[in-house]
Amino acid sequence: MNLSEFLCNKEIHHIGYVVSDINVAKRKWIKDGFELLVEPKLDEIQNVFCCLLSFSNQIPIELISPNSTGINKLRSRVNRGNGLDHICYKSNDIKSDYHLVTKYKLMIPIQDIVFANVFNAKICFFMTRTGVIVELMDQS
């Protein structure tokens, strides 16, 4: 099994986009015509704020900004500037998917499976050998 075979039947849930201030960014994206699907909310596990927007029923965009207090992995990515952060794929069985990815060394694990209260879902993160961050999300 290779990465292409693993991802070929998975649907994209959203594209993650890092911003320095979620409220400022949210207003700008809405002004550009995006519809707010999920209000900004603190994800306590990752210590980041997230919200979800969509444009013309296209793949949603998740805006992510670091919480100003505490430690989070996002701060270093924000220091590089706003921009594309990750691609999130839907998973029907995140434990099985995590096992496959690690067993066949398809990607490098960077976040074990945790619960994300913003989406009421289990998530995990990997990095491809080319440096793309991939999130898997299981909302079942």
How does pLDDT run across 67-102, given as a tens digit for each residue? 888 887 766 666 676 889 999 999 999 999 999 999
- Cα 104 to its chain centre, rounded Å, is 22
50 forms beta bridges with 41, 64
98, 87 Cβ separation under 8 angstroms: no
pLDDT of 137: 98
Q: What is the CATH number of domain 3-138?
A: 3.10.180.10
pTM: 0.92
Among residues 139, 135, 17, 137, the alpha carbon closest in space to that of 87 is found at: 135
The domain segmentation of the chain, as residue ranges, is 3-138
Strands 61-66 and 12-18: parallel
60, 51 Cβ separation under 8 angstroms: no
The secondary structure of 71-129 as a DSSP string is --TTHHHHHT-SEEEEEEEE-S-HHHHHHHHHHTT-SEEEEEEEEETTTTEEEEEEE-T
**Averaged over 15-25, what is the pLDDT?**
94
Q: What is the pLDDT of residues 22-36, one digit of tens each?
A: 999 999 999 999 999
pLDDT of 75: 67
Please report, for the chain, how many H helices and E strands are present, in that order: 4, 8
- The residue type found at 45 is I
